[in-house]
Chain A
Amino acid sequence: MNLVNIAQYISGFLQNLGRAGLFLAAVLFRIVTPPYRFTPTIKQIYFMGARSLLAIVVCGIFVGMVVALQFYDTLVRFGSVALLGAAVGISLIRELGPMITALVIIGRVGSAVCAEISIMRNESQIDALECMAIDPLRYLMAPRVLAAIISAPILTAVFITVGIFGGYFVGVILFEVSPGSYFGGMYDAVLWGDIVMGATKSFIFGLIIIWTATVKGFYLHLDKSGVHGTEAVSKVTTDTVVLSLITVLFADYIVTSIIL
C-alpha cells in the first residue's frame, strides 16, 4: 500500500460516486417528465409494496411487542407505566418504524432489484433496449425508483400501526396497563414533528435503497473488482445489501440530528 494506491482508490471512489449521482439525477428527471409509465410503476408498487406486506406485518407485531416489553420492564421500576403508550408510540414512529421497515425493504426489494437489473446487464438485455431505441433509465429505472419512494412510507406507516397494536397486546392485555392510558398517553405525547421525522426518514431510506440497487445493477459491467458474469451478479447484490445498510444507518443519524 502506497500513496499511488490510495490516490487511485480515492479517485475510483469519487468516480463511482459521481456516476451514481448523475444516474440518480437522470432517473429523477425521467420520473417528472413525460412520457410517464403508469402500468410498470403500478406493477412495481405491487411487487415492492403489496408483496412485502406480510413480512412488514409480522416484523411490526414482534417489534411492537418487544419494545412494549422492554419499556414496561423499565417504566415499572419508576412506577410510571402510564407512559408506556407514549414511549412505544414515539420510539416506533421516530426511529424503529422507518429503520426496521428499511431493513425489510433492503432484504426483499433491494437485493431482488439489484439481481434483476444486473442479470439484465449481464445478458445484454440492457444493450438490447438501447439498440431498440428504448431508454433503459425511463423504461426500467424510473418505475422502480418511483415505486420504491411511494411504497417505503406506506410500508413504514403499516409497520408503525401494527407495532402499536403489538405493544397494546403486551402492555394492555398481558400486563394490564389501562387501555385509556396507553392510547391517551400516546395521543398526548406524539407531536406532528415526530410524524414528520418518521415520514422523512422512510422516504429517504426508500430512495437510498432503490438508488443503491439500481445503480449497482446498472453499472455491473463497470465494476472493477475483477469478477465477471454470474459471479459479478452475486457480488454486486451482496454489495448492494451491505452498502444500503450502512448508508441507511448513516442517513438515519444525519436526518435525526438535523430534525431534532
Chain B
Amino acid sequence: MAATQENQPVIDIRNLSCYYGDKLALDNINLTVNEREILVIMGHSGSGKSTLLRNILGLLTPSSGQVEVLGKEISRLKKKELYELRKNIGVAFQNGALFSSLSVRENIELPLREHTDLDENTIQIMTMMKLTQMNLADHGDLMPAELSGGMLKRAGLARAVIMDPKLLFFDEPSAGLDPVTSAELDQLILQLRDALNMSIVIITHELESAFNVADRITVLDQGKQILTGSREEIKASSDQRIINMLGRIARDEDVDAEAYLHKLTHKNLPRK
C-alpha cells in the first residue's frame, strides 16, 4: 500500500459545489480516490450522490471548485480531450443503460468497435471473456429487454470494463436485487479490482453491500459531505445522521412549527 500512496490520486475533488437552478445540490465537497481503492459514496435518495457522479464524469459542469480525474481537470477539457480521457473510464449505469436495439453481445462490443482497430476474432474473444466473467456466457445473443434486473446490471458492468479502464464507476450495483445476486455482484467488483487493478467508485444506499466492498466510505446528506473514512471510522462515528443510517432509523427532522404552518397555508394558494 505504501507504494500507491506516493502516487497521485486518480480522482481529486476540491471545494466542489453545484447548483440546480437556485437549489444547492452539492455543498463544498472534498474527496480523493487513490489507485486500486474502492470508494463507496453513500446517502439517501436526493442526497446528491448522482449529481456528484455526473460532475466527476463531466456530464455536469460544477458551479465552483475543481474535479481532477486521472490528472486532468474535467471542466477545462475540450470535447475531444474529454472523450480521450473517458476511454480510460468505465461507467456501469443503474439499470445497465444498454441500447435496446442491440443484443447484449453487440452492446458489450460497441466500445471496442468504435475505439479500436481490433480484428473480428479478437473482438469476439474479448467479448466472450467478459461475458463469461459476468456469468452471461449463454445470454450474449439475447436482447436487453429479455434480461432480468441482475443480468442487466452485469451486462452493463461487462460493457463498462470491456476497454479495461483504469477507473470504474458503478451506480447502485445492488438496488433492486435479491441478497444473493447482490452478494455475487460484490464479489465481482472485488475480483475486478484485484485482477485488473482498477480504482472503483460505487454509489449506493445499500449498507451491506457498501461494507462488503469499500476501502473507504463517504457519506452525503442533502448535498453535504458528512464524513469520509474507513469502514471502522464510519461505524464508530458519533454523528447522529450516520448512526441513524446504520440503524436504519427514519430521519427525525427538526420541524419549525411556524415554517411548517407557512408551507401548509401558502404553497397551494393561487398565484396573483
- Give residues in A with beta carbon < 8 Å to B: 119-120, 123-125, 127-128, 130-135, 139
**Which DSSP category, helix, strand, loop or mixed, fits chain A's interface?**
helix
* Chain B interfacial positions (CB closer than 8 Å to A): 57, 59, 79, 82-84, 86-87, 89-91, 93-95, 97-100, 110-111, 114-115, 159
Q: Determine the distance from Cα of A123 to Cα of B99 in the docked complex, in whole angstroms.
A: 9
Q: A133 touching B87 by the CB < 8 A rule?
A: yes
Interface pair B89/A131, CB less than 8 Å apart: yes
Beyond known contacts A120-B99, A130-B59, A135-B83: 18 more, CB 8 A cutoff: A123-B97, A125-B99, A125-B100, A127-B93, A127-B97, A128-B91, A128-B93, A131-B89, A131-B90, A132-B91, A132-B111, A132-B114, A133-B82, A133-B83, A133-B111, A134-B111, A134-B114, A135-B79
Separation in Å of the B124 CB from the closest CB of chain A?
A: 19
Q: How many A-B residue pairs have CB under 8 A?
A: 49
Complex Cα gap A130–B93 (Å) = 12
Q: Distance (Å) between the CB of B147 and the closest chain A CB?
A: 14
Q: How far is the CA of A132 from the CA of B100 in the complex (A)?
A: 16
A132 cross-chain contacts in B, Cβ below 8 A: 86, 91, 110-111, 114, 159
Q: How far is the CB of A176 from chain B (nearest CB, A)?
A: 52
* Complex Cα–Cα for A124 and B144 (A): 14
Contact of B115 among A124, A125, A133, A139 (CB under 8 A): A133
Query: Top 5 closest A-B pairs, CB basis?
Result: A128-B97, A133-B83, A133-B86, A131-B91, A124-B97
Q: How far is the CA of A139 from the CA of B111 in the complex (A)?
A: 12
Please list 23 pairs of residues, one from A and one from B, whose beta carbons are closer than 8 Å in the complex, sorted by A's number.
Answer: A119-B100, A123-B97, A124-B94, A124-B95, A127-B59, A127-B93, A127-B97, A128-B93, A128-B98, A130-B57, A131-B59, A131-B91, A132-B86, A132-B91, A132-B110, A132-B111, A133-B82, A133-B83, A133-B86, A133-B114, A133-B115, A134-B114, A135-B83
